[in-house]
Amino acid sequence: MLTIEGLTIGYRTKGKQTVVASGIDLSLQEGELVCLLGPNGAGKSTLMRTVAGMQEPLEGRVLVDGDDVHDLGARERAKILAVVLTERVEAGLLTSRALVGLGRYPHTSWSGKLSAKDHEVVRDAIVRVGAEDLAHRYVGDLSDGERQKVMMARALAQEPRMMILDEITAFLDLPRRVEIMRLLRRLARETGRAILISTHDLDLALRAADRVWLLPKGGTLQAGAPEDLVLSGAFESAFASEGVDFDATRGAFQVHRHFVGEVELVGDGLPAQWTARTLEREGVHVWSGAGPVPSTRVIAEGGDPVGWRITGDGQETRLSSLYDLALELRRRFAATDL
Ligand code: ADP
Ligand code: MG
């Protein structure tokens, strides 16, 4: 439904042209959840504003069913696409319900009066995002996360065919972010909408997106299933400059750590899994089973409470938390380094 042809995005100021990204050719299908990912300043917001018709492209076109979005009138455009940006809204004196009601404007008559059907759509949208308890409250009194939900409800009430959401999960805590991604995915599937969302949440995007648009800084946008982009190494290289390593095996980013030593990890289940995370954070490799057995062994003992033992060099230390385990590892490996 949405086609991007030979698009160059960027800014024109005082006759000077700054290109943010170019050579973008893409399409967005109905029922698809697409996550736009890229480092800060790569041009995600610029691309979204351009796709939404809020900013002129430097070159190329954005077509919705063959019509250029930049040629559509505001009302016409609002029927097709809803945009949610993180920018603060000047709507503090409205109740959440009234703000969501504004989403109906492309569908109401010129008087702007909401019909019974409009009220029903508004109610529905509020329920969908789980904002029933916010409906009567003033938008100005809401937390960032709450306001974000109301803005999403407003976009839903607009009943667009396509939704563009820029960094809307940034202010939300993890459970809410997971919930919002689920909601968006379900919406895409159940209502056949195309949803484009930019997010910092790489892990969540990798798990939830049907497709990822990956925009590296100064590079070329690449699109594919999240797994395609991991396999091709595109992911790793897009974020290579950010001081984090992408671990393609786990599909997660990790802060780069100096290797300080190697241990054998014994244990299973969640305790062993989170012990491995502590080791990784400390720059301690877990022995893979190949090569010589390391002299230090970390044992995660199941049970309640969970306990740990570190053995090696004739010393055994018992620990009751991963915090203490990390301290002990630092002590042991600092000693062997000298
Ligand atoms: P992202 O959303 O990926 O963090 P942006 O799209 O906000 O990136 O910014 C991309 C680039 O465009 C940045 O270098 C930024 O400084 C520049 N930029 C953003 N807004 C403007 C503007 N209004 N005028 C000129 N340059 C801008
Ligand atoms: Mg941005």
Q: How confident is the model over 161-171, as pLDDT tens digits?
A: 999 999 887 77
User: Which ligand 1 atom sits nearest the alpha carbon of residue 38?
Assistant: 3
* Tens-place pLDDT, residues 83-109: 998 776 677 789 999 999 999 988 888
Instruction: Give a yes or no: residue 252 inside a domain.
Output: no
Mean pLDDT computed over every residue of the chain: 88
What's the domain range around 96? 2-247
Q: How far, in Å, from the CA of 46 to the mean position of ligand 1? A: 6
Strand partners, 212: 35, 224
Instruction: Give a yes or no: residue 338 inside a domain.
Output: no
* 121 and 220 co-located in one domain: yes
Which of 20, 37, 221 best tests ligand 1's pocket when mutated (most atoms within 8 Å of CB)? Answer: 20
Ligand with smallest separation from the Cα of 166:
2
End residue of a domain, out of 221, 247, 273: 247
Ligand with smallest separation from the Cα of 44:
1
Q: Which CATH number goes with the domain that contains 104? A: 3.40.50.300
* SS3 (DSSP) at 136: coil
> Which residue pairs, CB below 8 angstroms and at least 24 apart, start in 289-294?
293/264, 294/261, 294/262, 294/263, 294/264
* 113 and 185 co-located in one domain: yes
Burial class from Cβ neighbours inside 10 Å (0-12, 13-18, 19+) for residue 198 reads buried
* 280 and 145 co-located in one domain: no
Predicted pLDDT of residue 165: 94
Q: Which residues of the chain have pLDDT under 70?
A: 88-89, 241-245, 250-251, 253-257, 335-338
Strand partners, 310: 298, 317
Predicted pLDDT of residue 338: 43
